[in-house]
């Protein structure tokens, strides 16, 4: 059985806060949290705020393909909220970048290394232009640590 991690980051969130103010930024994060809650409906799925504008989701019994499909649903749903973001280079609306990593549940890898791999995937998504999903292979990521 597999476990997958999604690392979700709001694209150009600092610019959003600078332009629309922190109360609007808080509301933006609330709306994205709601998207995550409605997209990840299984009781065993765990969603948490992770730093300023990041969320992390832990999906047990989820392989890389399914995790990537869920991540894409999250990405599409966030953009579909159509929250204006005039300062973003990714879209006129608020968008997210998502890093995905998946591994066998029995794969000997520390959770910190798995999170780091998801973060690597997220970095790649941002580097490729944001508002997208990137998947990294846990074993490949582990070999770089």
Kindly give the residue spans of alpha helices, DSSP state H, lying in 21-127: 22-39, 64-80, 111-127
Its sign, for the CA torsion 63, 47, 130, 110, is negative
Fold that domain 2-142 belongs to in CATH: Alpha-Beta Plaits (3.30.70)
The mean pLDDT value for 8-24 works out to 98
Token pair, residue 35, equals 């998207």
The mean pLDDT value for 124-137 works out to 96
Tens of pLDDT, residue by residue over 58-84, are 999 999 999 999 999 999 999 999 999
Confidence of residue 25 (pLDDT cuts 50, 70, 90): very high
Instruction: Specify whether the CB–CB gap between 95 and 11 falls below 8 A.
Output: yes
Count the residues in the chain: 145
* Annotated catalytic residue 72: no
Catalytic residue (choose from 27, 53, 72, 79): 53
User: What's the confidence (pLDDT) of residue 105?
Assistant: 77
Tens of pLDDT, residue by residue over 101-119, are 998 877 777 888 899 999 9
């Amino acid at each position: 059985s597999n476990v997958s991690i999604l690392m979700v980051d709001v694209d150009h969130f600092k610019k959003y806060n600078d332009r629309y103010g922190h109360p609007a930024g808080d509301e933006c994060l609330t709306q994205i949290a709601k998207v995550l809650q409605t997209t990840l409906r299984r009781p065993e799925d765990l969603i948490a705020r992770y730093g300023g504008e990041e969320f992390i989701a832990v999906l047990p019994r989820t392989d890389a393909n399914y995790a990537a499909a869920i991540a894409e649903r999250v990405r599409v749903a966030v953009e579909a909220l159509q929250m204006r973001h005039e300062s973003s280079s990714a879209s006129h609306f608020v968008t997210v970048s998502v890093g995905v990593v998946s591994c066998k549940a029995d794969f000997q890898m520390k959770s910190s290394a798995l999170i780091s791999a998801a973060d690597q995937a997220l970095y790649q998504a941002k580097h490729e232009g944001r508002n997208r999903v990137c998947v990294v292979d846990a074993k490949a990521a582990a070999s770089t640590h």
